[in-house]
Structure 1
Amino acid sequence: MIEVSKFTSDGQDFLKINLKRLDPEIVAMIMSINGWFKAMEPMCYGLPYSALSEFIQKTQDHMVIWKSSADKMGTLAKGIDTRDVPTDYVVDYRPKLPLREHQIVTFNLMMLRDYMLISDQEGVGKTPPILCQHDAKVQHGVAKWGLYVTKAGLIYDVKNQAEKFTDLNVVTVEGSARQRVKRYDQMEKDDTIGLVVVSYETFRADINHFIAINKSKSFDIMYLDECHKIKNTTSAIGRLIHKISPKQRYAITASPVINEIIDMFNMLYWMGAIHYNYFQFRNKFCELDGWGNVARYKNIGEIKTILQSNMLRRLKTEVLKDLPPVVAKPLYVEMTSAQRKLYKAIEQGDYDEIDFEDMFFEDVPSELAKHARLAQVAESTEIVGGEKGVKGSGKLKELENLLEEIVERGEKAIVFTRSKRMTHVMVDYFSKYNPAMITGDVDAMAKAGQEVSDRQAMVDKFQEDETCKVIICTESASREGWTGTKANNVIFTSKPWSPSYISQCIGRAWRFGQTGGTTGSINVYSLISRGTIDERIEKLLEEKQFVIESTVEQPLGTQKILNVLDGKSA
């Protein structure tokens, strides 16, 4: 696999080419292009940017991931060329709220195609045109109703946007088993329902109900939102999505499949973009090692052609020209004496009596546990039962000053932390700003008698209540599925070890509807405890020491991460 990015040096543009595995054939190809040079990093080469066309032509059948500062995820192919797609509605339709020009292009493509992978970058505004084209199909008799499967936390976002943009009668399936059975009975009897929205978990649990309803009154259209959830063909949801066979099928994800070709199979097969079975697909595009694992890929040009024909992929910077710029603002903070004392003890391995929190690090090996503990103390000793408030956290005092400045400017802020305990600490400490809060304990599903979930109520409070100046979030529970455009300030008191997770957090504010506040920018503040693990995590992120596999980020080998965190050469 080849990862390519653009960089500028001394006023000249170059291509930076990282090889993820040493391949003599690829090295020879690079060396055949005039102007090539070996970079300082291992398995890294450079080319003059003027050689771009030749490089693309020579790597047509290789696995190339294009990176840019605006798109941390990268992609195999550009996708559908939309230059000839009309920017006026191809059918007689007017939404309740106007769509932007690029959204009308999405609308028109979906009106013209029975299946498509919709992979616009998060924040571009994918959901409104998807719902509007569904509304138009119902109005024009092309479809009677459809099924929209998504993550549990996104159900209300879909329903709310449908109410804002369309006249669709949308029902959500949730609640207790008894409540869901009543909803299924309603679905069978009520012919005015235009769209059913359900979580993947409920769809899996109640699959027999959906099969029975589909037999009596077939779904005409099906949408799989966050469709990377179906990539595993042997998982329950990966198998069950094939039980419903609508005429039109649309897969939706802001994170297109980018590294693991084999993970693309289930999505492309469900859509109808390919007709190979799993083994035919694997044999055509993969070479296996002696243990049956994918060693390398082949016939990549055909995969690129499939994506270029069936994937809509546009970046925010391409279609939202009026989005404010993102400005990184690192703030270095001195630890308090209580932090320094505790930090030193942990460095020396003396922490048997300390109550460390589960930080939700994704499968952090035991070798990294010490660094996770250090990260907690660098944020606040209160997280581990130590000194409270500003005595135990230099970051809390810095955040106090920062929020005061932001509020005086008439702006709002989103604060992210890795720690659920720190979330509660900050909510209590900054009560004067009437904060909203999202943690894993804030329910994403509505309870009996509720119109919206607790989580959506928090988002609504932040977006609509002028007295609510800040929303404080546990990062692992809040980086997806909500809109926080009332804020143009994003603050990290601690960071995930993943560039894309950070991008997802920033994307809560940097999206359609953002004005940039009084500063005209998205200000991204990172609170970094000086002389601590925080600085090395920043280095880890800056050096992109993570390989994105499919739509899920996975770290490099543990030893390489440890080298960076221990201050050694990676």
Structure 2
Amino acid sequence: MLEVSKVALPDGRSFLKIELKVLNVDAIQAITSIPGWFKAPETMCYGLPYEALNEFKKKTKDYLVLWKNENDSMGSIVRGIDTEDLPNDYVVPYTPKIPLREHQIVAWNLLMTRDMLLVADQEGVGKAAPTICSVDAKIQYGLISWGLYVTKAGLIYDVKNQAEKFTNMKVVAISGTPKKRVKLYDQVETDKSVGMLVVSYETYRADLNHFIEMHRKRPFGCFVMDEAHKVKSQTSNLGKNIHVLDVPQKYAVTASPVINEVIDMHNILYWMGALKYNIYGFKKRFCELDGWGNVTSYKNLSEIKMILSSNMLRRLKKDVLDLPPVIPKNIYVEMTPAQKKLYKAVDQGKLDELDFEDLEFEDVPAELAKHARLAQIAESTEIVGGPEGVKGSSKLKELEELVEEITQRGEKAIIFSRSKRFTHVMHKHFSKYNPAIITGDISASAKASQDISDRQQMVDKFQTDESCKLIICTEAASREGWTGTAANNIIFTSKPWSPAYTQQCIGRAWRFGQSGGSTSSINVYTLISKETVDERIEELLEEKQFLINSTVEQPLGTKQVLKVLDGTA
């Protein structure tokens, strides 16, 4: 795979930076055959004048090329459908309850005129609204009787809320105990006024026979598969089950195009009908395999690129939204005496009688455990059973002033912490602001007696209750799957070690519907304890190579992280 980014120099010149993820002699020969090429300092990394872009595209048409830039941490093999000449007014008369923006109307037009589409707009662009409205419009025009919308468990009520916000369509969300779900199925089977069912992937898989029976009695006209990257595995039960229902119109929606590995695209494109090869035919046509049947490289990728260019809609926030600017603001704080004493003890390996069970760093390797513990103490000693409140946390004291300043402006804030314990500490400490809270303990699925989940209730409270000024979140449990546009202030008391995760957190507020509050900006505050691992984590996140190499699913390797955290980079 070739990873390509545009590098702009202060003198106005621009270059293509081309990094080979796997040694490929043919690819190197293709690059070095282009006039003006040069070897970059990094291993297996080359440069070209930006003016050579078209020639580079021609000579690498059959290679996996991942295009990346600062506004698109996931990258894209190909830009997808050219929307420049597409109408930005409705191709047939349609009036949603809330007007769609021009770029959403373009998406709506494509959804209305195509039986299949991969909607891969960047996260926060606003994909759900035009998708839901297209289902509503097709029902109004008699093109379908109803639709099925499958998404992540934590998003089913967000989808239902958006449907009620933009349309008059009757939408039923299926959740709860098996007994409750069976009751709902019985109701919708006889209720012809239901326009769309919204279910989680888990419910779809568990209750597949119910969906087969409903589809037999009253065929679904369209099938929307949200967060479509969840079904990339064609061998999993879920990856197989999506093919069971023979629905004429199929739409895959994902902000993270599953195109870092070409074979990951197969199940989605095959389900849509955009690709006619089954997995065996796909491997034969596009893959080079080793003796055990594992993919070693790809071939004939120009065909894949052609399929994507005519079946994928891919737009970035910067291209279609007039969003307020993101303004980073680092706030450096001096640790309290209690923090300094405990920090020194841990730094010297004196861990007796300290409780570090609350590490919220996913899959923290043993080599990084010490740095994770130090980061916790830099946040608050209370996390590990030390002094409570502001005595054990200079960040908590700084937060008091910052939150007061924000609320006096009439604005709201989202606070992220890596520690679940500190999330609860802050929730209690700032009770006068009537805060909402999201942790791993706040369920994203509705219980038997609930219409919406506990998590959605917290989100709704934050978004609609004027007395609720804060939503305090454990980062690992809250960086995706909800909308927090009521806030234009993001506060990190501790940060994830991947810039992609950080961007996901910021994306809760920096998205469609954001006005920027009184400051007309998204203010991102990071509380940094002086002379601690906090400063080195910031260095890590600012490393240009780290930004280039990181993806949402795979942060930088342990050895590379340690180099920065230990100060040896």
TM-score, normalised by the number of residues in structure 1: 0.95
Cα deviation digits, residues 7-27 of structure 1 (max 9, x gap): 222232222222222333333
- CA contact under 8 A between 1:418 and 1:476: conserved in structure 2? yes
Q: What amino acid is the match of 1:294?
A: V
Matched residue, 2:363: 363
Q: What is the percentage of aligned positions where both structures have the same residue?
A: 66
Matched residue, 1:516: 516
Runs of 4+ that moved beyond 6 A: 546-549
Shift of 1:88: 1.7
Shift of 1:109: 0.4
- CA contact under 8 A between 2:221 and 2:248: conserved in structure 1? yes
Question: What is the rounded CA distance, in whole Å, between the counterparts of 1:534 and 1:61 in structure 2?
Answer: 43
1:178 alignment partner, SS class: helix
Deviates more, 1:7-16 or 1:198-207: 7-16
Shift of 1:41: 2.7
- CA contact under 8 A between 1:73 and 1:548: conserved in structure 2? no
Shift of 1:283: 2.8
Q: How many pairs does the alignment contain?
A: 567
Q: What amino acid is the match of 2:349?
A: G
1:545 alignment partner, SS class: helix
Q: What amino acid is the match of 1:445?
A: S
Question: What is the rounded CA distance, in whole Å, between the counterparts of 2:295 and 2:349 in structure 1?
Answer: 40
Question: What is the rounded CA distance, in whole Å, between the counterparts of 1:472 and 1:385 in structure 2?
Answer: 21
Question: What is the rounded CA distance, in whole Å, between the counterparts of 1:540 and 1:398 in structure 2?
Answer: 24
Cα deviation digits, residues 237-260 of structure 1 (max 9, x gap): 111111111010000001112311
- CA contact under 8 A between 1:102 and 1:319: conserved in structure 2? yes
Shift of 1:492: 1.0
Q: What amino acid is the match of 1:73?
A: M
Counterparts of 1:431-510 in structure 2 under 5 Å? 431-510=431-510
Matched residue, 2:245: 244
Counterparts of 1:100-119 in structure 2 under 5 Å? 100-119=101-120
Question: What is the rounded CA distance, in whole Å, between the counterparts of 2:71 and 2:127 in structure 1?
Answer: 17
Counterparts of 1:74-153 in structure 2 under 5 Å? 74-153=75-154
Question: What is the rounded CA distance, in whole Å, between the counterparts of 1:377 and 1:295 in structure 2?
Answer: 45
Question: What is the rounded CA distance, in whole Å, between the counterparts of 2:416 and 2:552 in structure 1?
Answer: 20
Question: What is the rounded CA distance, in whole Å, between the counterparts of 2:476 and 2:270 in structure 1?
Answer: 31
- CA contact under 8 A between 1:545 and 1:561: conserved in structure 2? no
Matched residue, 1:158: 159
Deviates more, 1:61-70 or 1:196-205: 61-70
Shift of 1:392: 1.5
- CA contact under 8 A between 1:498 and 1:553: conserved in structure 2? no
Deviates more, 1:353-362 or 1:479-488: 353-362
Q: What amino acid is the match of 2:303?
A: E
Q: What amino acid is the match of 1:16?
A: K
Specify whether residues 356 and 112 from structure 1 end up closer, same or farther in structure 2 by C-alpha distance, changes over 3 A only: same
Q: What amino acid is the match of 2:496?
A: P
Counterparts of 1:221-260 in structure 2 under 5 Å? 221-260=222-261
Question: What is the rounded CA distance, in whole Å, between the counterparts of 1:141 and 1:391 in structure 2?
Answer: 66
Question: What is the rounded CA distance, in whole Å, between the counterparts of 2:107 and 2:399 in structure 1?
Answer: 41
2:360 alignment partner, SS class: coil
Question: What is the rounded CA distance, in whole Å, between the counterparts of 2:283 and 2:541 in structure 1?
Answer: 33
5+ residue gaps, structure 1 = none
1:447 alignment partner, SS class: coil
Question: What is the rounded CA distance, in whole Å, between the counterparts of 1:548 and 1:116 in structure 2?
Answer: 29
1:518 alignment partner, SS class: helix
5+ residue gaps, structure 2 = none
Q: What amino acid is the match of 1:452?
A: I
Counterparts of 1:331-480 in structure 2 under 5 Å? 331-480=331-480
- CA contact under 8 A between 1:547 and 1:553: conserved in structure 2? no
Question: What is the rounded CA distance, in whole Å, between the counterparts of 1:18 and 1:387 in structure 2?
Answer: 49
1:350 alignment partner, SS class: coil
Is 1:330 the counterpart of 2:334? The answer is no
Shift of 1:273: 0.8
1:62 alignment partner, SS class: coil
2:526 alignment partner, SS class: strand
Cα deviation digits, residues 156-190 of structure 1 (max 9, x gap): 11111111111211111111111111011112211
